[in-house]
Structure 1
Amino acid sequence: MKIAAISAVLLVTSFGQAFAWGQEGHSIIAEIAQRRLSATALTEVERILGGQVSMASVASWADDVRYGTHPETYNWHFVDIPLADNSYDPTAQCAADPKGDCAIAEIDRAEHEITCAADPVQRRDSLRYLIHIVGDIHQPFHTVADGVGENTLKVVVKFGGLIKSPPKVPDDDLHAVWDSTLIKQTNYAWGSYVDRLEGDWLLKHPAASQTLDPVAWTLEAHKLAEDMAQGIGNGATLDEAYYDKALPVVDEQLGRAGLRLAAVLNRWLGSAPACPLP
């Protein structure tokens, strides 16, 4: 059993961060964004993706390919900043690597490629990456280097959340709790979670943040990770008090990500692109 446990840790460490937000979280963000696209941007999104394809339906594609056909994109899903640090150093935290650089660099690339790439396949893939990775960078523990994004920090989930019944598998890690458990313990279906945000957080915060800078998003999320990891040691129990503290942060980050994704797409696809001359 000890050998198996060590192997599991080595496996996580060798492959870096696990998924950010589960399928539910990415679908929530994509749906929020799509509802806020301008008519021009929505037409462009549909043209790039190929017909009546919803953004939510492609929101997890980037996770599907990072382990298979595109391992060179693996590091695009996170930014490894130590919890004790509050600054971003691109030389150390976004360096070129066979598995890619980091989320910040890919967002910058994808923004330009969705309008300026000559190859329609590259434009489509860049849009799918952008939809996904804007979401990734708002998951607080995808901005954390410690414990491989706290994938190795084991916790016991005791909260039932709004569902009231605790998860059937209470043993988890802190990263996975933030990927999916908090969302699943709030609403059974991601569409219902969108409706909940539309009637609450999004109603109270109708505009995106003034900044559309992914570095600022990263540092904002990193500060939240510091707060939500404070006092959590290996084997800690996450109770209803933790859920009550975490849920407003989850709502805020899903809402922010959706609003910001919409703002980015409206900026880049809502008017004629300004591409560099060949």
Structure 2
Amino acid sequence: MQKIIVGVLVATFSVNVLAWGQLGHRVTGAIAQQHLTAQAQAVVTALLPNEDLAEASTYPDEMRSSPEEFWQKEAGPFHYVTVPEGQTYAQVGAPEQGDGISALKMFTATMKDSKASQADKQLALRFIVHIIGDLHQPLHAGNGTDRGGNDVKVNFFWQDSNLHRVWDSELLGQRELSYTEWTARLNRKISQQDISAWSDIDPQVWVSESVKIRDEIYPQEEKISWDYLYNHLPQVQERLKMGGIRIATYLNALFK
């Protein structure tokens, strides 16, 4: 019975999960692009000669409607992890279907495999960039009870929404900036001290940070607007900066 319940949760959660939306993922990818070492940049360019990391970052979401079995039956759980309140990822681990952390490990192994094809490595690189971004969105470290906030109905600036959507895209979208504008605004505020402080490439560290934020962002009232934006947009911006730096740091270490 437990496996059946887990399978249902995976299926229903994955239908609506698009961490950060197109805008946020592109920001993390674009920030990362600016912090790659020359060696990492050379590998990325060789693998994706006509594609930057901003474009690569959204590929796993854009392929969700593909009828291929991989996208319909395997890839859904790769976008998130589940950590019940009061527990850690180390305590619960990945489910049988896999999750963001197990997928990151799998795709990293593909990148290191000298026998892997160019196409497999391209897919792996796109997923690595995407998953690291996902794990920095607090509601992609869901508590297992509300599909990562999708079931938490809210009214955001007088429009019906849900908490997951608010964090994916609406907090960022409220400012009406393009991804290049967000990238420039955020990247110039990243100091060398920040880069050093955010250098940990252990995904369990990122998840523990997301869980801590997740447990503090559920609103007390259904109607949220300026106060919620004021309190939480800075957190979104910080997680995007951290996600971008960690994508770069992870790839720099992988391609060293």
3-state SS, counterpart of residue 211 of structure 1? coil
Q: Which of these two proteins has the greater Rg computed from alpha carbons? A: 1
Aligned with 1:222 (options 211, 229, 249): 211
Q: 1:141 is aligned with what amino acid?
A: L
In 1, distance between residues paired with 2:186 and 2:87?
29
Shift of the alpha carbon at 1:206? 3.7
Aligned to 1:88: 89
Alignment size in residue pairs: 241
Aligned to 2:232: 246
Residue pairs, 1:172-251, within 5 angstroms: 172-201=161-190, 205-207=194-196, 209-229=198-218, 231-232=219-220, 236-251=222-237
Aligned with 2:124 (options 123, 126, 147): 126
Whether the 8 Å contact between 2:199 and 2:249 is mirrored in structure 1 is no
Q: 2:120 is aligned with what amino acid?
A: Q
Shift of the alpha carbon at 1:12? 9.0
Shift of the alpha carbon at 1:212? 0.9
Structure 1 vs Structure 2 CA RMSD: 2.1
Question: Tell me, which stretches of 5 or more residues in structure 1 are unaligned?
Answer: 1-10, 159-168, 271-278
- CA deviations on 1:12-62 (whole Å, 9 max, x unpaired) are 98431411110000000000001111111101001112x132111121111
In 2, distance between residues paired with 1:123 and 1:189?
29
Q: 1:94 is aligned with what amino acid?
A: A
Shift of the alpha carbon at 1:186? 2.4
What's the TM-score, normalizing by structure 2?
0.87
Aligned to 1:262: 248
In 2, distance between residues paired with 1:215 and 1:13?
20
Aligned to 1:60: 58
Aligned to 2:106: 109
In 1, distance between residues paired with 2:227 and 2:22?
26
Question: Tell me, which stretches of 5 or more residues in structure 2 are unaligned?
Answer: 1-7
In 2, distance between residues paired with 1:43 and 1:189?
27
Shift of the alpha carbon at 1:199? 2.9
Aligned to 1:42: 41
In 2, distance between residues paired with 1:60 and 1:26?
6
Whether the 8 Å contact between 2:26 and 2:55 is mirrored in structure 1 is yes
In 2, distance between residues paired with 1:103 and 1:185?
28
Shift of the alpha carbon at 1:208? 5.2
Whether the 8 Å contact between 1:201 and 1:251 is mirrored in structure 2 is no
In 1, distance between residues paired with 2:137 and 2:131?
10
In 1, distance between residues paired with 2:240 and 2:159?
24
- CA deviations on 1:114-151 (whole Å, 9 max, x unpaired) are 23252111111100100101000100000012310010
3-state SS, counterpart of residue 227 of structure 1? coil
Distance 1:202 1:247, change over 3 A: farther
Aligned to 2:5: none
In 1, distance between residues paired with 2:199 and 2:53?
23
- CA deviations on 1:169-219 (whole Å, 9 max, x unpaired) are 711000000000011112421110111102335577243524210011111
Aligned to 1:24: 23
Aligned to 2:147: 148
3-state SS, counterpart of residue 215 of structure 2? helix
Whether the 8 Å contact between 2:29 and 2:244 is mirrored in structure 1 is yes
Distance 1:107 1:182, change over 3 A: same
Identity %: 27
